[in-house]
Every structure is written in C-alpha cells, then in structure tokens.
Amino acid sequence: MSGEAKSESKFEPKIIGFLCNWCSYTGADLAGTARLQYPPNMMAIRVMCSGRVDPGFILDAFSKGADGVLVCGCHPGDCHYIEGNYKCMRRMPLTQKIVADFGIDPKRVRLEWVSASEGARFQEVVTEFTEQIRALGPLQLRDYKFEPEAREVHHVEA
Amino acid sequence: MKSQNGDKQALVTIEIDGQKIEVEDGSYVLQAAQALGIEIPTLCYFPFTTPYAACRVCVVEARDGKGWSKVVTSCNYPAWDGLQILTDTPRVLNARRTNLELLMSRCAELPVLRNLAGKLGIEEPRWGTGEDSCILCGLCVRVCEEIVGASALTFASRGGARNVTTPFHEVSDDCILCGSCASVCPTGHIRLEDQDGKKVNLRELQLGPNSAITMPFRQAVPNVPYINTEHCIHFQTDNCGICAEVCPKECIDYEQKDSTEEFEVGAIVMATGFADFDPTPLKQYGYGALPNVISSIEFERMNNAAGSTGGKILMENGETPGRIGILHCVGSRDDDHHKYCSRVCCMYALKFAHLIKEKTGADVYQFYIDMRSFGKGYEEFYQRILDEGGNVIRGKGAEVVPASNKKKHEGHLIIKCEDTLIGRYREVPVDMVVLCTALEARADAKEMARKLNISTGADGWFIEQHPKLGPVQTATEGVFLAGTCQGAKDIPDTVAQGGAAAAQAMKLLCKGEIMMDATYAEIQEEYCSGCRICNDLCPYHAIEFNDEKCISVVNSALCKACGTCVAACPAGAITGRHFTDEQIYTQIEGMLA
C-alpha cells in the first residue's frame, strides 16, 4: 500500500494500532459496518485489553519500521476488565519517555479511548493520527532533537 | 365496632326495630343499626371521628319498654342493656322532616338534601329555601383535627354568621393540602383549588383523580395497593391510620422500608425497557402549555378501560373531541433529539385512529414523515385505516397553536404543517393533539451498564454482542438483553427477543457448568521470581502467591485473560494464552514486513 511512496507528500506512514477487544476493536468493526472511510495506514492488532499492551511491543514496532503506534482502549471506568485501561494509562507516559530517550518523537505514540459505539470517533482518531504521523514524516531513528523540555510527555486526558 | 375506651367492654343487648343485637356497653346505636343493616340517614357521620350529632337527621326513638321514650340522635346515643330503638315511627320521621327542613332553610338546593327530602316526603320546606352549600356540620373540622392532626379548619363567628373557615380566612400554613376535608364533606361545599402552585390533587398521569393509597394501575404486577408516602396523611402528621383500621387482614404496615436483597444467580436477563421522551422541550407543540395536547402514553391510559377516564376519550372540559390530530416522530428522527426511528409510533398511531373512530367517530388527522408499516400484517392495517376514512398528511407537524378569532375554530387548536404530497402549507384545526413521543433509553441505563460490565451506545441503548450473530448476548458472559433496553422495538420483536434471551439463559443454567475460554494467563514456574507485582494488578484476584514455592500462581477459572499481568511481569514469566508475546511480535513483524 505504501510501497510506491516516492516523495515526501506521498509518504504513507505505517502505523501499528493496538485495539482492545471489547471497546476499540468493536468500535473499529462498527466503523467498518457503518462504511466509514479511514486511512488504511493503521494496521490493527487485537489485544484483549489495552492493559495487555507491553511497552516492549511499541518499541519493537518502531524498531521494525513502524512510523507510529496507536493504542486504543475503553473509556476510563468502562473497561471490560474493570481497570486494565488504567494500567495502560499509567504505562503510556512512561513509554513515551522511553521512546523519547531512543530519539523517537513521543508524538508518534498515542493512547486514545474509543468505545464500542464510537465508530465515527474511531474514524476520526485514525484519520487524525495518520495525518499527524504523515506530517512528522518517516521515522528515522535519531531524527528527534533531544531537548530537555521535549521530554515533557503528552498526558492523555482522562 | 369501635370501642370507646379501648378496654374490653361488657356486652349489652339492645333491640332495634324488633331485632336483637349484642353490642358493647356504651357503643353507639347507629353502629348497631348499621351492623343489622337497618338504614338510618346521616349527613355528618364519619365512622372514624367522634360523633357530633350536628345534622340531626339520624334521629331515632329510644324506649326502655316500661313507658319511657325519647327522640335521640343515633350517632352519639350510647347503648345500654334493654334499650329499644325504633327507626321509623311517625314521631321519628316527623323529627327528621323538621330537622331537614331547618337545614334546607339554609341550603335548599343541595342534591344530597333534596334527595333526602324526597325520601321523607318534603315538597317545599316550610321556612324558606337558603342558597348556601354548607350545613355547618363541622365534619371537616373534626377530620382535620382528629384524623389529619392539622387543625387547619375551624368554626368562626356566631349565630347567623357562623361558618367554617381557615384562620383569618387565609390559606393556613398548617394545611397540608391532603384534601380530607373535601372528601368527607357531605355537601360538596369544600373544593380544592391550586394555591401557590401547591399540588392539591393526585392524578393518574395528570388525567384523573387518585388517592394516596392506590394501585399503580389495575393490571399492575404485583396487584397490591401501595401508599404514596409523599401524600399520605399518616406519613405527614403521624395521624389518620384509617386504612390500617379498616383493613380486615391487617396488611397495612407503615414501618415497611425499602430494602436491598442479594441473590446469587447464574444468568441475568436485562429487560429494563425504555423511558418516554418528555415533549416539553419541543415548545412548538405546546405540551404542558396548551390544553388538550397530550402524549401518546397519556392517550393510551385515557383509552384504556382501566385507565383514568374509564376508556372514554375526553378533552379537559369533559367533552368528546370532534377532531383529533396525531403528530408522529416527536423526538424521534429529529437531529436535535434522537436521530433514530422509534419504530412503534406509526403503528400505534394507526391503532389510535381506529379506536378513536370506533369510540367517538371523531375525525383523525395523522401527520407523518414516512409511514413505516413494516411488520407482518402492518401494511394491510394501514390500508384498512385509510379505507375507514383516516386522514393521513405526509409532513411533519411544524407547530401547534391555539386557534385565533376565527369563529368556527373557537377553542380549537391548529396544527401547522407542510403537506409534502400536495406541496402546500396547511393549517388543520383539531380539538385534541396526541404527540407520538420517542422511545428513549432509561436515564440510569449507563449506570446499569457499568454495574453489569456491558456497554451502551451513543443513544444509551445496551449494545448486544453482535448485531446479527449475537442479538441477545452481551460482551459479558451470562448477561442477556431482551426488549427495548437494547433498542426501540415493538411487542412482537420484544417477545421474540425475550424468548431468545430466556433460552440463552436456560442453556447456560441447564448445563450446570460453563465452558471456559481457552485464553487465560499462565505463569511459568521456573521464570517467576516471586516479586508479586502481578498479584495486585489482577482485578479478579485470580493470582495467588504460593508461599511454599515462593511464586505466583494463576487460578485459570477466575482469570478473564485481560493480559494486564502479562504486560507487567518484569521476568516475562507470564504467558497470555492466544495472545502470547511471540504471537504479537510476529504480528508486528508481519505487518511491517
């Protein structure tokens, strides 16, 4: 799909999406059944809960060539496993710090809440994140200028 | 029979019109007569207050059998041994006539007095005919003091100016607006009116009168009365208690409290239903502001034989409407409220049209966006309504306004709309407007969903596991959906879904054991360092620490396979089956290859 990307404007980012089985994966499914169009750049990996997302997966994805990683879970309080998404919520800022230490812009990692009924929101999130990664350009390790203030990670709103 | 002192009284034998009866010493003659089924007219008698003998139409003749006789008021004349009572001697009837004529000289035109006068053979009262409606019996005063305990009413002035009123003729702060005075008043002199916006009348869906002890509706399940503690006199003043006194089975229990019971169950069927959309915010339809604009559920109650008007279709003034407008899609298919179609309104509106025609012969006008007669036999029913002469206008009702000065429309409402089939603006005069309000999710649906770990959609309906393949199941094993809590649907669909949900629940229960998902977490003993990080992470307490081996162990029956512990284990000792690290890394590799 992105093999023919030649110029910067035609850059098609590769994005790995970790979607929780109960909310976001179902939300993605809903976006599909509702025929909502979103960029095909995001490739979904189903996990049972956003709490399953090991920071190692994110680093591994970058090391293997992903340009961005999106993690989607249930809205706070709505987790199928009661509190798995809170665990994820606590891990993400730390993950972003680690990612920054590797010279990767922490903006390339994002956590979003998408419920099973939010097909339209899923479309929005994926489209917006894809555009953001497209704007950041292809991931080239060490392309990120290390500045102390840039280490301030982006906290996900609860 | 009510004992005067509460203690056990000696029994005495009295004779009323030749019939002997044993009664408690000192109990009143009227009660004994009523027990024998002998009719004595009364006006100011109420069994739960102290008898007062104000009206004096209950007079009877008392004799001792030895020659003594006297005309006495039966309501407060105590029984004594050997008392003989005669209720219809010429002397008694004469006294009753005189007393009644005296009352009529004050209030002649009261139906209750006229009725009694007819029975006693009075044609014209001798001392003139007054036009008052209060006979000054003071029953209201006694009820207010003895039963309600409010003492908000009293007699005022003397002689000819004597009257019953509130202190200083003003609305009393002591009045709890219970309406007891009006309900006991023998002549209908006391009327309840709205004062300062305080509610004085309980009405079923605001359409008919009701009392503080009532059944929700006649087919209610369980079919037992309940006390509306907000309006019951006992709960306001600690007095009254008449219901407990009259209940022969002693069922009234004022101490009953709401309680929470816990049940252990193997499956849950959610059948919490829907809520009715409140059309008040749609100001253009005038619900709550204009008379005779009612919601469909109110119309349904009115139309019901067990409902507030006994099945009669009536306007607020008690007349039968000649033209009724039915507005479809109030709150449904509306970008500002609910985008979805409520699915049931078209068909019940057609049913309304049929019933209105049958009961009143009134003209019915339906204002619809699309006529959705989708089910089995529905389209045929629609055609039948058209054949019966039902008027259907394709165009959503835009506004309901009171008719202007046009003489022939006086007192009517006008429905404005665009008739999209003829492409014209129309104003249709009607007497009554029925709003087909949307079905919406209950306000507490989200809270319930959270408790059961299922989810709700944007509209608040519970989400089924799969729209086609799992229509009654939910994301949580053992929780099933039935009926309108899952989405707007009509009765056949609800029954079908309810049956399916019950079958699914039975399937689970009959097996007696549940199939476990093969996905659960496992700890590899040799890698576990016993750090216990995972122990506190598990929301299901499925991970226990084995003190002997100094490692954590997953109880696979409790584990729900969320994988939170797998991601957290610093030693990588936990494997989430079917979502192993290797599988996910391979997926990542495959995707990025």
Q: What confidence tens digit (pLDDT) does each residue in B480-497 have?
A: 999 999 999 999 999 999
Tokens of B445: 């649906």
Chain A residue numbers with beta carbons less than 8 Å from the beta carbon of B533 are: none
pTM: 0.66
pLDDT per residue over A13-62, tens digit each? 999 999 999 899 999 999 999 999 999 999 999 999 999 999 999 999 99
Q: Helix (H) and strand (E) counts for chain A?
A: 4, 4
Confidence of residue B170 (pLDDT cuts 50, 70, 90): confident
How many residues belong to chain B? 593
Q: Identify the top-confidence range among B169-178, B460-469, B571-580.
A: B571-580
Whether the Cβ atoms of residue B189 and residue B137 lie closer than 8 Å to each other: no
pLDDT per residue over B513-525, tens digit each? 777 778 899 999 9
Is A118 in Cβ contact with B563 (below 8 Å)? Answer: no
Is B587 in Cβ contact with A52 (below 8 Å)? Answer: no
Question: What's the CA gap between A122 and A115, in Å, rounded?
Answer: 8
Q: A15, A24, A29, A48: which to substitute to probe chain B, counting the most B Cβ within 10 Å?
A: A48
Beta strands in A28-108 (DSSP E): 42-47, 68-73
Q: Is omega for the bond preceding A138 within 30 degrees of 0, making it cis?
A: no
Cβ atoms within 10 Å, residue B336:
8
Is A54 in Cβ contact with B567 (below 8 Å)? Answer: yes
The better pLDDT of the pair A153, B247 is held by B247
Integer angstrom CA distances of residue B3 from B106, B241, B246: 35, 16, 14
Residue B540: closest C-alpha in chain A: A81
Whether the Cβ atoms of residue A52 and residue B563 lie closer than 8 Å to each other: yes
Is A14 in Cβ contact with B581 (below 8 Å)? Answer: no
Whole-angstrom Cα Rg for chain B: 36
pLDDT per residue over B252-287, tens digit each? 999 988 899 999 998 999 999 999 999 999 999 999
Q: A25, A54, A83: which to substitute to probe chain B, counting the most B Cβ within 10 Å?
A: A54
CB neighbour list of residue A75: distance below 8 Å, 6 or more residues apart = A23, A85, A113, A115
Is B564 in Cβ contact with A84 (below 8 Å)? Answer: yes
CA B583 to chain centre: 58
Cα three-residue angle A104-A108-A114, rounded to 5 degrees: 150
Of A49, A60, A78, Cβ closest to residue B564 = A49
- Chain B: residues touching A (Cβ < 8 Å): 450, 453, 455-458, 463, 467, 475-476, 519, 537, 539-540, 560-564, 566-568, 576, 579, 581, 584-585, 587-589, 591-592
Cα three-residue angle B332-B337-B343, rounded to 5 degrees: 20
> What single DSSP character describes residue B131?
B
pLDDT, averaged across chain B:
88
Is A22 in Cβ contact with B576 (below 8 Å)? Answer: no
Is A116 in Cβ contact with B587 (below 8 Å)? Answer: no
Of B537, B576, B591, Cβ closest to residue A43 = B591
ipTM of the complex: 0.87
Q: Which of B162, B164, B146, B144 is nearest to B154 (CA)?
A: B164
pLDDT the model gives residue B3: 45
pLDDT per residue over B18-46, tens digit each? 999 999 988 999 999 999 999 999 999 99
* Mean of pLDDT values over B430-454: 92
**Lowest-confidence region among B45-59, B222-236, B340-354, B558-572:** B222-236
Residue B454: closest C-alpha in chain A: A80
